[in-house]
Each structure stands twice: as C-alpha cells, then as structure tokens.
A and B are shown apart, each in its own frame.
Chain A
Amino acid sequence: MGRRLLLIEDEPNIIEALSFILTRDGWTVHTHADGATAAARVKSGAPEVVVLDAMLPGRSGFDILRDLRADPATAQVPVLMLTARGQDKDRDLALRLGATQYMTKPFANAEVVAEVRRLAGG
C-alpha cells in the first residue's frame, strides 16, 4: 500500500493519465470528480497530498481550497493546484488561498510527479 494521494479532477482522460504516472511512482491514487463534495472527501480520506483542478463541476477548485484551509482537519494538507488559467491573478489567488504549489495546464508528467514528491517531503 503506497502513500495516499487524492486527485480531484473531472476530465476522464487526464484522470487516467495522472493516475497511471502517479501509481507507477508508488502512490495509491484515489480520484474524485465532483467539486461540491470534494472537501468532505479530503477530510474523510486523509490523503498525504491533494492534486486539485481549479475548474470543476459543482464548486470551483479555489472555493474547495478555501474550505480545506478553513477546516483544522485539512488546513495543513499539501495541495498542488492545477489550472487552465495562466494569468498572474489566478496564481496569486491560489497561493493566497493556501495552495502549496501551483501548476498551469498543460503540464509535463515529470513535473507533476516531481512536484508531488516534493510536497510529500521527498
């Protein structure tokens, strides 16, 4: 049983690719596609790292991040935010809301793996 990672993303083919590369890197990958229930899923699943898409059905990634940081149970979990928006203001917003790291789509697989490892402390 590897270390637990929760991938919150709604695009099936992105989920499949990221799950594949992270599983190969030794992670036990759980996935969740609904924004509205994502924060509760983080709380119940207690993952070591969260990879969070900014644009989700039900509730935006930014709102989910705000919820996570407001709850003491999830305030410290490392969150890698993935977003399609490249503007500085979105990066600033994500970091201000407490994202541990921020990555713009489209990303290289190796970058995601390296970043996730770094967030989990190597």
Chain B
Amino acid sequence: MAERQPTGTRIRERRQERGLRQAELAQSVGISPSYLNLIEHGHRRIGGKLLADIARALDLDPVALGEGPDGGRVQALRVAAAGAVEPLRPAPELARAQELADRFPGWAALLARQGARIEVLERRVAELAGRLTHDHDLAQALHQVISGVTAIRAASDILAENPDLDRDWQGRFLQNIRTDSETLAEASRALVRFLEAPERATAASRSPQEEAERWLDARDHHLPEVEVGGWPSGLPDGPAGSAVLAWSRRYAADAARLPLEPFAAAAREAGYDPAILARALDEPFARVLRRLASMPGGEGWPAMGLVICDSSGTVTHLRAFDGLDLPRSGGCPLWPLHEAFAQPGRAVRAFAALPGQGAPRLICHAVAVPREEPDPDMPPLMEGTMLVMSAPPGPSVGDRLVGPTCRICPRQACPARREPSILG
C-alpha cells in the first residue's frame, strides 16, 4: 500500500491548498466523491487520463503528481499532515518533511503512527455511523420494539378504558399483552446485544486486553500447558501477547496452589460453592474464583463467567457469560462485584437479575482484596473478582437488580442511575 499513497496524498494536499471540496474536484474530473476519497487515501491507483485530468484541475504537472521518490517515512508524515481536520497555524512545513524524518526519526515515526491510527479510527467511526443508519438487524430490532410497545399500549388502553369489557375480550387482550411483552423482551435484548456487540469490533479498535481475552475465549480460558508448568504457545502479537503472558503467570501461580485434578474433585464435592471450597482448601477466595473459571469443564460442570476490576471499576479481565453485560468502564454499579469493595476481604454472594422478562439471572460470588503486598508508601491497590453462574429464573426479594449501562437500561427509577436512558 505504501507505494500507492503518494499520489493520493499529493492530490489531497493540493486540493486542500486550493480550498476545493472533494465533491467539487470529483465533479470536475467526472468521478464520484467516494472514488476520489479512495484515491486520496491510497486505496486506488490511478494513471493515464484520470491522472492527467486531476493534475489539470489542480494546476499541477502530471509527472509531479505521479509516484515520487519520497521514502515511506516522509510520505507517512505527509499523510499525517493531510489528515488535519482544520487548517493548522502555522501549517506543517511539508517541504521540510524529509529533514524532520532524518533529524528526528523517533518523533517522525510517532507522528506517522498517530496519523495512521487516526485514519483507522475515522474509518471505524464512519463504519459505525453507517451501521447505525443502515444495519438491518438494528432496524429490525427497533421495529419489533416499537411494534411491541404500540400493541401493548393499545391493548392496555382498551382494558383500562373499558372496565365493562366481557371476559372473552379481556382474556384476549391480556394474552396479547403477554405475547407482545415476550417479543418486546427479546427485541430489547437483541438491541442491547447490538449496541454493545463487542464481537463486531475490528481488531484495530480493540484494546490489547480485549485481544488477549479473545485469545483466551478461543481456549475456553483453560490453558493445558500452564497446568503442567509450561507456557502457552501461539500467543498473539504485541501488547496482547504480553497481556496473555501476564494472565498466564497468575494462572500458573493459582494452578500450583490448586492443582487441576484434586481441585476439580473438591469443587464437584462442594457443589461448586466457592465459599465452601475456600474454607476446605484454606486458600484465598479470589484464587478459588479464578481457579473455578479456568477449569476445563466436562460432565455436569456448570458454565461460569469471571470478571475482575480495579477500584475505579474498570474491568481488567473478563470471561464472558450470557447476561454479564459489563462494559470496560462505566458499567452498572449494582453488580455484587462493586458491592464487594465496600467491605474488602468479605465474600459477597448475591443473585443478580437483568432487566426484562426471560432475561438471565445469575448467582454471583465476589470479593475485593488488595492486589499487591502492602506498601506503607502507597495506598492499597484493590482488585475485585466475581464469578458468575446461571441461577433459576426470578427475580426474588434480595436480587440485585442490575443492568447494562444506564444509557440502554430500562430501569428508569433505579437509584444508581447516572444519566437518562435512551429507552424513554
């Protein structure tokens, strides 16, 4: 790609110098603005008549507009400069880009990388905006929600306004309300899944932590090599690989204290109750929670999710589980995970009910403990750990009425609400 960029970038620079909009230049040479955009970003190579036409429209020598001798670094600097949203004062000294690259290669590389990153993110934003406008699944889910609400409102109006309604009609409208509310619950959940949709994120927009978790997801969070004292193979590249290694070190320490076979047997015997296990094995509760979530499963072993966060509430590790709708930050503060920080060291056991009929209900075991050994010169770095498993449908008195983020949570009267919901 790199050798394709110069022409496009020069076109973009020159067009901006002359105060032309993409649409104007595109029209003057008989191509669409979107095609010109591809050319300017180096995604289409051009030559011949179109190159000559664009050069003429920009009052440039076609030869000068063609591929030049600049090295990749210089070109990347030009791309970064061209990506500026507003005209910069003073403007980047494009003529001295080579000098910058030669004298300060580190800074030049940083600028170039930031420029490339901004382009990736801009594309991602455009993609997301397009998705919201045109996505079929979203349109379908919204249509279902509106239709469901409309039908429920119409039927409940009839019941409220016609107290003399005969029993047959009453029964029919009550039944309609029931079926519509079921549809509505499913549509709302589809909507929430869509709005969160971490699986749709492209690699470019995922953090190393998320990349590492995807890697672990693919292995069901069980690392056989680490169980026997080795290190995992096939690590992801870059910072995500480091994140997997950091997790593996922790995993290895847990596995050394709680070896697989005896721990699995003890867990079965304890009915997968981490409190019983921690007491029986005389091991820290948080370690038991992590260890339960790293077992290979098997006959009768319940599915488990795990979430770890720091004291700011930022999620630092996640083993996904249906209903465990916790964003990286800014999630619902009512999860027992956060409650655990109120009494460090105390094991919390609570049921968490998600909003909506048929929504998951989870049994949660959580604890918050210092992450490191105490340091008299530092405040303790606390860490919360929560293990979740499916619970029978509820809700029941005492359930923590949790939700996704406030923006998409239907619990309007929630005392923990920080901002209004888009759901009304």
Residue from A17, A106, A107 whose CB has the most chain B CB atoms within 10 Å: A17
Is B150 in contact with A105, judged by CB distance below 8 angstroms?
A: yes
- B147 and A21 contacting across the interface, CB-CB below 8 Å: no
Contact residues, A86-113 vs B (CB, 8 A): 105-110
- CB of A108 within 8 A of CB of B143, answer no
Query: 13 interchain pairs (CB within 8 A)?
Result: A11-B151, A13-B176, A14-B151, A14-B154, A17-B154, A17-B158, A18-B154, A21-B154, A84-B142, A106-B149, A106-B150, A108-B153, A109-B157
Within 8 A of A (CB), among B213-243: none
Expressed in whole angstroms, the Cα–Cα distance for A84 and B140 within the complex equals: 11
Q: Main SS of the interface on chain B?
A: helix
* Cβ contact within 8 Å between A14 and B143: no
**Cβ of B179: which chain A residues have Cβ within 8 Å of it?**
13
Can you list, as one digit per residue, whether each of B146-165 has a CB less than 8 Å from chain A (1) or not (0)? Answer: 11011111110110010000
Counting CB contacts under 8 A, is B328 at the interface? no
* B279 within 8 Å of A (CB atoms): no
Q: Which 8 A-B pairs have the closest CB atoms?
A: A17-B154, A84-B146, A13-B151, A106-B150, A105-B150, A109-B157, A13-B176, A106-B153
Q: Which of B152, B157, B172 contacts A108 (CB 8 A)?
A: B157
Given contacts A11-B150, A108-B157, 5 further A-B contacts (CB under 8 A): A13-B151, A13-B179, A17-B173, A105-B150, A109-B161
With beta carbons under 8 angstroms apart, the residue of B143, B146, B149, B151 that contacts A17 is B151
Q: A43 to B153, alpha carbons, bound, how many Å?
A: 31
A53 to chain B, nearest CB (A): 9
Bound complex: CA A105 to CA B152 (Å) = 11
Q: Is the CB of A20 within 8 A of B158?
A: yes
Which residue of chain A has the shortest Cβ distance to B147 in the bound complex?
Answer: A11
Alpha-carbon distance A14/B405, docked complex (angstroms): 31
Chain A binding surface, main DSSP class: helix
Give min CB distance, A93 to chain B, whole Å. Answer: 16
List B contacts of A108 (CB < 8 A).
153, 157
Q: How many B residues face the partner with a CB closer than 8 A?
A: 20
| Residue from A14, A21, A107 with most neighbouring chain B CB atoms (10 Å) | A14
Q: State the CA gap A110–B180 with chains docked (Å).
A: 21
Which chain A residues lie closer than 8 Å to B173 at the CB level?
A: 16-17
Instruction: Decide yes or no whether A55 CB sits under 8 A from chain B.
Output: yes
Q: Residues 7-24 of chain A: 1 if any B CB is under 8 Å from the residue's CB, otherwise 0?
A: 000010110111011000
Residues on A close to B: CB < 8 A?
A: 11, 13-14, 16-18, 20-21, 55, 84, 105-110
Chain B residues 143-199 with CB under 8 Å of chain A are 143, 146-147, 149-155, 157-158, 161, 169, 172-173, 176, 179-180
Partner of A13, one of B146, B155, B157, B161: B155
Cα distance A106–B142 in the bound complex, in angstroms: 12
Contact residues of B between 112 and 163, Cβ < 8 Å to A? 142-143, 146-147, 149-155, 157-158, 161
Contacts of B161 in A (CB 8 A): 109-110
Q: Which residues of chain A are within 8 angstroms of B176 by Cβ–Cβ distance?
A: 13, 16-17
Closest to A109 in B: B157
With known contacts A106-B153, A109-B161, A16–B147 Cβ distance under 8 A: no
Q: Inside 8 A of B150's CB, which chain A residues have their CB?
A: 11, 14, 84, 105-107
* Distance A23 CA – B25 CA, assembled complex (angstroms): 61
Question: In the complex the two chains form, is A55's CB within 8 Å of B153's CB?
Answer: no
> For residue A105, which residues in chain B have a CB less than 8 angstroms away from its CB?
146-147, 149-150
Contact present for A84 and B147 (CB under 8 Å): yes
The residue on A at minimum CB distance from B142 is A84
> How many angstroms from the CA of A109 to the CA of B173 in the assembled complex?
14
Chain B's closest residue to A21 (CB) is B158
Roughly how many angstroms separate A41 CA and B143 CA in the complex, as a whole number? 25
User: Which of chain A's residues has its CB closest to B180's CB?
Assistant: A13
Give every chain B residue within 8 A of A109 (Cβ-Cβ).
Answer: 154, 157-158, 161
B147 touches A17 (CB 8 A): no
In angstroms, Cα B160 to Cα A109, docked, is 11
Chain A residues whose CB sits within 8 angstroms of the CB of B169 once the complex forms = 20
* C-alpha gap A18/B161 in the complex (Å): 14
**A-contact 0/1 string along B323-342, CB 8 Å cutoff:** 00000000000000000000
Q: How far is the CA of A62 from the CA of B404 in the complex (A)?
A: 36
Q: Name the distance in Å between B90's Cβ and chain A's nearest Cβ.
A: 42
Bound: A37/B153 CA distance, A: 28
* Chain B contacts for A107, CB-based, 8 A: 150, 153-154
Give complex CA distance A18, B157 in Å: 11
